[in-house]
Amino acid sequence: MNVVFLSPNYPAEIPFFVRGLAAQGARVWGVGDQPEDALPREVRARLAGYLQIKSLLDEEDAVEAVCKWLAGRTVERVEALWEPLVLLAARMREALDADGHRYDQIVPFRDKNRMKEVLSAAGIRTARHARARSLREVRDAADHIGYPIIIKPIAGAGSQDTYRIDDAIELERTVRKLGHVPDVAVEEFIEGDEYTYDTVCANGRILFDHIAWYRPRPLIARHIEWITPQIVSLRDIDAPHLRDGRAMGHAVLRALGHHTGFTHMEWFRKADGEVVFNEIAARPAGSRSVDAMNYACDIDLFTGWAEAVMHGRLTQPVERRYNAALMFKRAQGAGRIQRIDGQQELEAKFGPHIVALELPRLGSLRGHWREHLTAEGWMVVRHPDLELLLEIADTIGTELQLYAW
């Protein structure tokens, strides 16, 4: 099977999906905007060929270049697991007559306002919403929806450029930060706990599903520097307080006609038990979340996803043995990382439960914490008991400290 893979080296976890495809017998044809010798060695070793193009964001030129490059070959699939490229992948599938979502099918996964229109029409509870392309339209939407509201890019990813606004004065101040965003969604702010619902599907069947709990909500973590954000993979996804959210995720997949591949959904559970859908992406969760799913279930979803898209099955057993907390550390100060406190003591105390740990080298520049969750490193801790896991995660979040100057 010939599989075109867009951006086979970025983000950081993408090479593992390339590995998975190769392990399942695919001939993987990589397409990216970096020189081939800049790709990691493990990526180059698993590619049948590589095409460097000027820009992955120029859909017309990219499709033309790939069609010319692969002329005469039958391409069974085109895969893109990085959010900005899912529309390009759909265009390429159409041009190459490959399996998978076409452009019109994928638009609701990328356009947040269109997504909510489709889901609302299917009877799925979403936040009240409106699209806005000007300051006047933003003001009108805010007046109609009522404060507090959320403003975010129509075609965004994660919580970047996303703001909670509580009144008209704050609105005027915030819109100045969004001058680079031409198209925004204005939405009702939902108060409650925020969760994910992640799936791997094949031919309309859910082969693997997963629920994670954001501690705290991404909107809070994105704007408060000292927080150590956590994404907690939950062992008991059949728990009563999660059932309605899981059922809503199934309904979303049906409404959008998703059939094969990863999806990443986010939803809220209010204090009164009502569940409200937030959004869905036709890709895996980012920022090493798939690693956390793997550690929670003792599975390899990089290969499992490849098996699902290529062969329509998942043969690995899914054993929900652990809760797992994916955590992201942020340094204090600016400049280069000069000191890491608490690492040895915490490893001695919690060593068996720390299953992944990547921290920056001393002397390395501090990352941009607002732009990338993994800027200063990440770790995964796991434990069968949720309360004990949260205690461990909170202790590490407090006692592991990085300093830059």
- Residues in a beta bridge with 215: 230
Q: Which fold has domain 193-404?
A: D-amino Acid Aminotransferase; Chain A, domain 1 (3.30.470)
Per-position pLDDT tens, the chain of length 405? 999 999 999 999 999 999 999 999 999 999 999 999 999 999 999 999 999 999 999 999 999 999 999 999 999 999 999 999 999 999 999 999 999 999 999 999 999 889 999 999 999 999 999 998 888 899 999 999 999 999 988 776 656 778 899 999 999 888 877 777 778 889 999 999 999 999 999 999 999 999 999 999 998 998 899 999 999 999 999 999 999 999 999 999 999 999 999 999 999 999 999 999 999 999 999 999 999 999 999 999 999 999 999 999 999 999 999 999 999 999 999 999 999 999 999 999 999 999 999 999 999 999 888 777 887 899 999 999 999 999 999 999 999 999 999
Stated as kind and residue range, the H or E segment containing 64 is helix 59-69
CATH fold, domain 128-188, is Dna Ligase; domain 1 (3.30.1490)
CA torsion 239-241-246-248 (nearest 10°) is 160
Which positions ≥6 away from 399 have C-beta within 8 Å? 341, 342, 345, 346
Domain coordinates of the chain in residue numbers? 2-100, 128-188, 193-404
Question: What CATH number has the domain spanning 2-100?
Answer: 3.40.50.20
Does the reported pTM lie above 0.85? yes
Three-state secondary-structure class, residue 400: coil
CA angle 323–325–330, rounded 5-degree value: 175
Strands, E, within 84-183: which ranges?
129-132, 149-153, 163-165
78, two tokens: 């085109």
Answer for the pair 360, 402: CB distance below 8 angstroms, yes or no.
yes
Bridge partner residues of 53 (DSSP):
none
Dihedral sign from CA coordinates of 98, 101, 102, 107: negative
